[in-house]
Structure 1
Amino acid sequence: MNKLIYLALAGVVVAQLQGCAAAVVGGAAVGTSVVLDRRTTGVYVSDQEIELQAMDRLGKAYPSASNSISATSYNKQVLLTGQVQDEATRSDAASRAKAIPDVRTVFNELSVGPVSSFSTDANDTAITSNVKARLLGRDKVPSSTMKVVTESGVVYLMGLVTPAEAKEATDIASSSTGVTKVVTLFEIIN
């Protein structure tokens, strides 16, 4: 009898998910990311919420095309990167990010100046992909424990890592093609 109930439930689930293969695969990928991450599931979800709230608040506060702000959260620490039109906007953006519930620290790496070009953005994407690929190829650095962000050739590394992992990741990033500087924002664990 139990087998019939399980079979019926499975049928209902499959019927509800028809055409939703992407949702199933995406959900599996997120589930795997959470399992391999050193953050608790609650902190992982909180970081996702922090990023969404930051981008929403900053987008509404600065809708001008002269500002380009990105927010990345890892372990409730927010990294702001991009360009803003003046120092007042730079300072205010950090204050708005800090006001988001659960944010512990804000690293304000916004620069004052014109928005980066498409070619600069494309180069930054290539650098990030290269650093991530090189991290994946090393057993000494579990890449799921960190985030890599690149802005104008500067690579920012965030994560929960051991001292040895921090050194290895920094060495990998600094020796990657196109990297002008590496900024480590790691939290060191034992």
Structure 2
Amino acid sequence: MTPTSLHFSPQRLLTTLTLAITLGSSLTACFPVVMGGAMLGGGLVATDRRTSGTQLEDEGIELRAASRVRENLGDRVHVNVNSYNRRVLLSGEVPSEQDKQLVEQVVSRVENVQLVVNELAVLGNATLTQRSSDTLVTGKVKAGLVDAKDLFSNSFKVITERGIVYLMGRVTQREADRATDITRTTSGVQKVVRVFEIISEDELRNMLPQPAPEAKATPVK
């Protein structure tokens, strides 16, 4: 290993540490229903393209949806619920087509949900080995987005199921295509599914922090 291979930027190091914690958690506990979500207590709020109110709504959607899926279908399903700007992605495995539709109906009735994208697979539950592999793939995709200097990596949400990577976020067409190219060429990725909300370049410019006006010196008389 060369010395340069040990160098990480602060942003990538933070991402790597976060992913390591996530992987450690996934190897010690396994739940039938898994909730996604943004970090509301840290820096992601400042760079997130959702309002703080919408971020809280998304967290609430994920918690309520996961609880209702558990109440209605119990442990026989493995369902991941991820909400971004009130758009909900359902991924994971269910034993039958009827269960797949039931999960969608249950989640669509959750308060504030505007759209449900049902990507549940009618399969047996993924193994711990598969879920660990998916966690590693997610980490590699996120690292690739961090390394891309022309993208705001925190504007993307990455979910992986059985090697299929789902990309969520409010992004421009250029950002969507760039992130897709990065993800598609990441080792371990079998397929890329985009669940983006496309915004215009003008909308993006309006979201970015505006530079502070320059201070003008006032001569002293």
Fold shared per TM-score above 0.5: yes
CA-based RMSD of the aligned residues comes to: 1.2
What TM-score does the superposition give when structure 2 sets the normalisation length? 0.71
Write out aligned runs for 1:102-117 (5 A): 102-117=112-127
Aligned residue in 2 for 1:36: 47
Q: Distance in 2 between matches of 1:29 and 1:88?
A: 35
Aligned residue in 2 for 1:126: 136
Aligned residue in 2 for 1:183: 193
Alignment CA distance shift 1:53-1:175 (3 Å) = same
What secondary structure, in the 3-state scheme, does the structure 1 residue paired with 2:43 have?
A: helix
Aligned residue in 2 for 1:101: 111
Unaligned runs of 5+ residues in structure 2 are 1-38, 201-221
Post-superposition shift, 1:59? 1.3
Post-superposition shift, 1:93? 0.2
Aligned residue in 2 for 1:149: 159
Post-superposition shift, 1:152? 0.4
Q: Quick one: which of 37, 50, 60 aligns to 1:49?
A: 60
Aligned residue in 1 for 2:99: 89
Post-superposition shift, 1:87? 0.6
Aligned residue in 2 for 1:23: none
Cα deviations by residue, 1:135-177 (Å, 9 ceiling, x for unpaired): 0111211111120000000000000001111011000110001
Runs (4+) off by over 2 Å? 28-31
Q: Quick one: which of 145, 166, 172 aligns to 2:176?
A: 166
What TM-score does the superposition give when structure 1 sets the normalisation length? 0.82
Post-superposition shift, 1:114? 0.5
Q: Distance in 1 between matches of 2:66 and 2:118?
A: 14
Post-superposition shift, 1:29? 6.8
Letter in 1 for 2:123: G
Q: Distance in 1 between matches of 2:43 and 2:197?
A: 22
What secondary structure, in the 3-state scheme, does the structure 1 residue paired with 2:177 have?
A: helix
What secondary structure, in the 3-state scheme, does the structure 2 residue paired with 1:121 have?
A: helix
Cα deviations by residue, 1:80-137 (Å, 9 ceiling, x for unpaired): 0110111111001001111011111001000111101111101100000110111011
Post-superposition shift, 1:31? 3.8
Percent of aligned pairs sharing the same letter: 39
Q: Report the number of matched residues.
A: 162
